[in-house]
Amino acid sequence: MKTPAQWRRRQMVGLIGAAAALPAWAQFRVEVTGVGLTQLPIAIAPFRGEDTAPQKPAAIVQADLERSGQFRAIDPAGAALDETSRPDLTPWRQKGADSLASGSVTQLADGRWDVRFRLWDVVRGQDLGGQSYAVTTGDLRLAAHRIADFIYEKLTGEKGVFSTRIAYVTKQGSRYNLWVADADGENAQSALASNAPIISPAWSHSGTQIAYVSFESRKPVVYVHEVASGRRRLIANFRGSNSAPAWSPDDRTLAVTLSRDGGSQLYTISAQGGEPHRLTQSSGIDTEPTYAPDGQHIYFVSDRGGAPQIYRMPIGGGAPERVTFNGTYNISPALSPDGRWLAYISRISGAFKLQVMDLAGGTVNSITDTTADERPSFAPNSRLLVYATRQNGREALMTTTLDGKIKARLAGQGGDIREPAWGPFQR
């Protein structure tokens, strides 16, 4: 059992280490709170040949696992191993490691890299398997994240999300950028640069396209943007405002908010574009639609009862059923891919707080100590959320476990950072 002081010291050391090794702004940093956490001790030996590679897989794998809050790194000092070694596990056992990973990086004749690793159960002396990945230089980090996913799943039984991507928006002066970054915040690449605001990015379930709202034509308009090619198409540019895109589970349809017939109302529209089909008929605001993973319901925000609350209705439209009952301002619904959880933002005594509702039991937990939380988005394994908030007067993105105990922060790069969307598992 650790005292809070010990935790703090450990974090300080960790932060200094991270700052020395990597650009200070680029990475999600862990802030572990709560007690009784068990962390699995693991040693990641330097990969043979990684000195010549532009990315060091061992460090990336170790940082991924540590950031989950569920692993503690054991110093592999002086180890010279690869995936073909059959290591003597006794010294590792003495160091307190439960597991050991070793591997190699080799450049192929065509310029790609062959990344290989093997995982050992140190306690039982068992080979837990390995993988190899032949990747371009641009995918070396992806290969390392996939290794971290493999280790995470083998040792915790849960699917890892290290190889997934997160989209978000930054604002620096009057410059807006839509970024696509690795789930650790590194390797951020700009998908769209604009002098006008960008909001509400939403990943297609295929992980290849992002729908978003851009104000570049001096009004909100919905685009669908193919990330790898940069090809984008206008989906909704009707009279009035066009916003809040959400993908149907089969990626064929988008639910959007349009004001073309007066008021903000929900419509569906083909992902190829075309004529919208009206879903709601209210005199108030209906917005922020999101499809339930079962494909049967759309959750959305409506002030039809006098104040914004979250409702649910059949996907084709029809009688809505109210879902939130606490307070007078509940917005931005997000459903976990496993269908168990609803995350949303609630205004409580003037503060905007991330809430997580257990949909089966209806119990609600407030899981942050910040006061300007916005726009939660679930990781594809349903175990983590990303959301936007303010810390020390600055915008930041946070990831959190659903119980709020393990959080990591991605700070803006000298500007504001907002509107996160966690992408799906990648094939």
Partner 1 sequence: MMKRVFLGLLVAVVVAGCSSVKLDDVPVEDKSASAVPAQPGGAPTTQSQVAPVAAENTTGTAQGPVNVARLIYFDYDSYIIKPEFQSLIEAHARFLKASKSRHVALEGHTDERGGSEYNLALGQRRAEAVRRALALLGVPDAQMEAVSFGKERPAVQGSGEEVWAKNRRVEIVYR
| Helix (H), strand (E) at residue 31 | strand 29-32
Q: State yes or no: residue 22 binds partner 1 (CB under 8 A).
A: no
Of 31-39, 41-49, 88-96, 133-141, the segment contacting partner 1 by CB under 8 A is 133-141
Place of tokens 């960008």: 198
164 binding partner 1? (CB under 8 A): no
CB-count exposure of residue 22 (10 Å: 0-12, 13-18, 19+): middle
Residues 310-339 that bind partner 1 (CB under 8 A): 329, 331-332
The stretch among 25-33, 210-218, 360-368, 407-415 that binds partner 1 (CB under 8 A) is: 210-218
Site stretch for partner 1 (CB under 8 A), options 32-40, 112-120, 152-160, 378-386: 112-120
Among 23, 36, 111, 157, the residue binding partner 1 under the rule CB under 8 A is: 111
The Cα 145–Cα 140 span in angstroms is 9
Q: Which of residues 61-90 bind partner 1 (CB under 8 A)?
A: 83
Among 197, 293, 327, 337, binds partner 1 (CB under 8 A): 197
Q: How far is the CB of 315 from partner 1 (least distance, A)?
A: 20
| Cβ atoms within 10 Å, residue 320 | 21
Q: Give the residue from 103, 110, 109, 99 showing the smallest Cα distance to 55.
A: 103
User: Looking at 51, 88, 110, 275, which residue binds partner 1 (CB under 8 A)?
Assistant: 110
**Among candidate residues 270, 274, 292, 411, the one with its CA nearest the CA of residue 359:** 292
Q: Widest CA span of the chain, in angstroms?
A: 73
335 close to 376: Cβ distance less than 8 angstroms = no
Q: Of the ranges 5-13, 22-30, 259-267, 359-367, which one interacts with partner 1 (CB under 8 A)?
A: 259-267
In angstroms, the CA 322 to CA 311 distance is 4
135 to 154, contacts with partner 1 by CB under 8 A? 135-139, 141-143, 146, 150
- Work out how close the CB of 34 gets to partner 1 at its nearest, in angstroms, rounded to a whole number: 27
Provide the minimum distance between the beta carbon of 413 and partner 1 in the complex, in angstroms, as a whole number.
16
Is-contact 49 104, C-beta < 8 A? yes
> 343: number of CA atoms within 13 Å, CB side?
28
Least CB distance from residue 339 to partner 1, whole Å?
23
C-alpha 234/C-alpha 221 separation (Å) is: 8
Among 21, 35, 108, 234, interactor with partner 1 by CB under 8 A: 108
Question: How far, CA to CA in Å, does 53 sit from each of 20, 21, 124?
Answer: 20, 16, 33
Site residue total, partner 1 (CB under 8 A): 80
The least CB distance from residue 325 to partner 1, in Å, is: 18
Positions 225 through 244 that interact with partner 1 (CB under 8 A): 225, 227-230, 232, 239-241, 243-244
Q: Which residue, 14 or 83, has its beta carbon nearer to partner 1? A: 83
